[in-house]
Amino acid sequence: MTSSWRLAIIVFWTAIIVVPIAFGGAFVQRIAALTVLAAIAASAWNIVGGYAGQISFGHAMYYGIGAYSALLCYTKLGWPPIAGVPVGMLLSVCLSLLIGFPTFRLSGHYFSMGTIALATLLGLLFGNWGFVGASTGVMGPAAPRTVFDLVFRSAWPYYIIFLAVLAVVLLSTYALQERRMGFYLRALGASDRAAASLGVKVKYYKLYALLLSGVFTALAGSLYAIMVGFVDPPSVFGIIVSVNMVVMAALGGAGTLFGPVVGAVILVPVGQLANAYLGGGKSGAAYVIYGIVIMVLARFSPGGLLRALSRWPAKRRRHAA
Amino acid sequence: MIFVQVAVNGLLLGAVYALFSSGLTLIWGMTDVINFAHGEFVMLAMYVTFFSYTLLGIGPPGFIIIATIALFLFGIAVYFSLIKHVLRGPMLAQIISTFGLALFLRSAALWAFSANFVSLPNNLVGGTLHIGSINIGVAHLLAGLTSLLVTFAMHFLLTRTTLGSRMLAVAEDATAAALMGIRPDPVQALTWGLGAAATGLAGALIALFFYVSPEVGNSYTLLAFVTVCLGGFGSVPGALLGGLAIGLIQTYTAYFIGATDKNITVLALFVLLLWIRPQGLFGRR
């Protein structure tokens, strides 16, 4: 890594951490917290979708399970929602084991299709299941009973908590990337047949990636539920939830460590600002812009922004030499 | 008797599903791109039909033809402006490009036409046929029969004509086809046009008996995927059988269990099928 790259990364992280503190309006803080939350989810998706190249369009199933676990722990047992975090993670592991082996027989488009169907199915089932509030959804605690309920008026404490979690997710991904496992996953992503012929236990490593990715996505879902205090099937199982993770990772660069973070830092503020100034999600104007951004990205920067950027100076250097 | 009535309704509905799914399977099989905006194509055709009637005063069959032609042109435009450029890129770029298109079309419709449900007057293609004790809506019958005809025509096009052979050649290997003197671009553009046209026709026929809203495409995209997976990718006769099966499953579930559960059974069966037989019922790997 060149020193200019290192400088760019330091500037980028300082900007992410400092900007919300410097311009600490409630609106900016909320956007900052949501950005970091989206970065967590997109980074989690990146493990199986980016590194291992299994493009899941159904990660909302983990997100939804995490979100529901948190708030159900509160409504059914009276525990603070955060107690639902390990429950959600455990359930996500069960889900990965349940679906991993059968769906990994599917490859390419088939895998994407199967995961979409599963997430939609779970959303429909939750929407018809009285125990989890059916289509009305579940509410979290309105006012904090103790500090463990993590109910804050300002988005500021959430921002700090989410940053810490994002750091954990990125460190895990980094550790993965540098170890043998990371090479196996990238080999899988490039071609699972070639990887298998070189002795990589394809199914085992795909499942391992899915487990890790699912656990972190469930965690992101729980955090979302804790911050927003309300979940219903479309808000956490909706296909747009999965699409957001994919698009953010793809925009920054799927299969790169910081790609999903870059994607989230660009797309979440764009979406929130468009929502605020173009009249809410109901009018559709915000998503018109979102859709255009996605198409332009796929058309002009198919490998993601980070890859495009890192290729550019290399080309210039070659010319100079 | 009610059993037969439900079966008839299911088969007629299924024929329409088969028609727009054959559009998806054509595009998929011939250009290897999944069009995640497929349901939005249906939605667009439904709005074209609706506005042809309300604003221009064109009735059936005029508005059906207009919707088909409009979608044909739209498909070609989408190919040249978007698909052509991502076709040789990574798979992730292909997938998110059509996802972006879907999001764009749906939200643009929401923006332009509002979220309100609209529909054509109920008895535009009027009346009900009574055969014994079975009632068949003429609109449903027309939609079902037209769909069957067009699906057969598409199968004929692919298997018995020069154009079909060209499409298959380009699908097999675009470079080799180019060396044999077939330019891939016009052929693939035409594939997108024809696939979209079949979708447009299906959309116009559905608009005869179903409401129109910007969100309506959502469920059709998923239905088309399930149908195509059920039949096996790239197979038009497979899509026909898949469509008929889905129509039957939906109407029987709606009748015996409840209308809200009909998509749950379809999806559950689909997931099950993907586990047991990933290549589809009639597909070959």
What CA–CA distance (Å, rounded) separates A263 from A43? 10
pLDDT of residue A22: 63
Instruction: Supply A78's token pair.
Output: 């009276």
Interface of B with A (CB under 8 A): 28, 34, 82, 85-86, 89-97, 99-111, 115, 214, 218, 222, 225-226, 229, 260-261, 263-264, 267-268, 270-271, 274-275, 278
Chain A / chain B CB contacts < 8 angstroms: 136
pLDDT of residue B279: 64
- Is the Cα dihedral B17, B18, B23, B27 positive or negative? positive
Q: What's the distance, CA B182 to chain centroid? A: 28
Cα nearest neighbour of B265 on chain A: A121
Cα nearest neighbour of A114 on chain B: B271
B99 and A294 within 8 Å at the Cβ level: the answer is yes
Q: Indicate whether A13 pLDDT > 90.
A: no
Which residues of chain B lie closer than 8 angstroms to A287, CB-CB? 103-104, 106-107, 110
What pLDDT digit, counting tens, does each position of A181-193 carry? 788 878 777 777 7
Query: A254 — contact with chain B (CB < 8 Å)?
Result: yes
Q: Indicate whether B283 pLDDT > 70.
A: no
What pLDDT digit, counting tens, does each position of B83-92 carry? 888 887 787 8
What pLDDT digit, counting tens, does each position of B190-241 carry? 999 999 999 999 899 888 888 888 888 877 888 888 888 777 766 788 888 8
Report angle CA B72, B75, B80 to the nearest 5 degrees: 130
What pLDDT digit, counting tens, does each position of A151-204 carry? 777 777 888 889 889 989 999 999 888 888 788 878 777 777 777 777 777 778
What CA–CA distance (Å, rounded) separates A96 from A204? 12
Cα nearest neighbour of B266 on chain A: A121
Which residues of chain B lie closer than 8 angstroms to A239, CB-CB? 218
Percent with pLDDT over 70 in chain A: 86
A116 and B264 within 8 Å at the Cβ level: the answer is no
What pLDDT digit, counting tens, does each position of B80-130 carry? 999 888 887 787 888 888 888 998 999 899 888 887 888 887 767 767 777
Yes or no: say if B55 and B212 are a contact pair by the CB < 8 Å rule: no
Yes or no: say if B232 and B238 are a contact pair by the CB < 8 Å rule: yes
pLDDT of residue A320: 45
What CA–CA distance (Å, rounded) separates B147 from B144? 5
Type of residue at A117? A
Query: A98 — contact with chain B (CB < 8 Å)?
Result: no
User: For tokens 């300082």, what's the residue?
Assistant: A14
Which residues of chain A lie closer than 8 angstroms to B275, CB-CB? 102-103, 105
pLDDT of residue A321: 39
- Tell me what the pLDDT averaged over chain A comes to: 81
Type of residue at A54? Q
What CA–CA distance (Å, rounded) separates A211 from B146? 48
Long-range contacts of residues A101-108, Cβ cutoff 8 Å, at least 24 apart:
A101/A203, A101/A207, A102/B274, A102/B275, A103/B274, A103/B275, A104/A54, A104/A202, A104/A203, A104/A206, A104/A207, A104/A210, A105/B275, A105/B278, A106/B274, A106/B278, A107/A192, A108/B91
Question: Considering the entire predicted model, what is its pTM?
Answer: 0.83
The residue ranking higher by pLDDT, B200 or A310, is: B200
What CA–CA distance (Å, rounded) separates B59 from B57? 6
Q: What's the distance, CA B1 to chain centroid? A: 31
pLDDT of residue A4: 66
| pLDDT band of A24, cuts 50, 70, 90 | low
Rg (CA), chain A: 20
Which residues of chain B lie closer than 8 angstroms to A110, CB-CB? 229, 274, 278
Q: Indicate whether A230 pLDDT > 60.
A: yes
What pLDDT digit, counting tens, does each position of B262-282 carry? 778 888 888 887 777 766 666
Which residues of chain B lie closer than 8 angstroms to A128, CB-CB? 260-261, 264
Instruction: Spell out the alpha helix ranges (H) of B32-61.
Output: 38-54
Q: What's the distance, CA A28 to chain centroid? A: 21
- The full DSSP string for A89-153 is HHHHHHHHHHHHHHHTTS-THHHHHHHHHHHHHHHHHHHT-GGGTGGG-EE--SS-SSGGG---S
* ipTM value for the complex: 0.82
User: For tokens 């018109």, what's the residue?
Assistant: A288
B97 and A299 within 8 Å at the Cβ level: the answer is yes
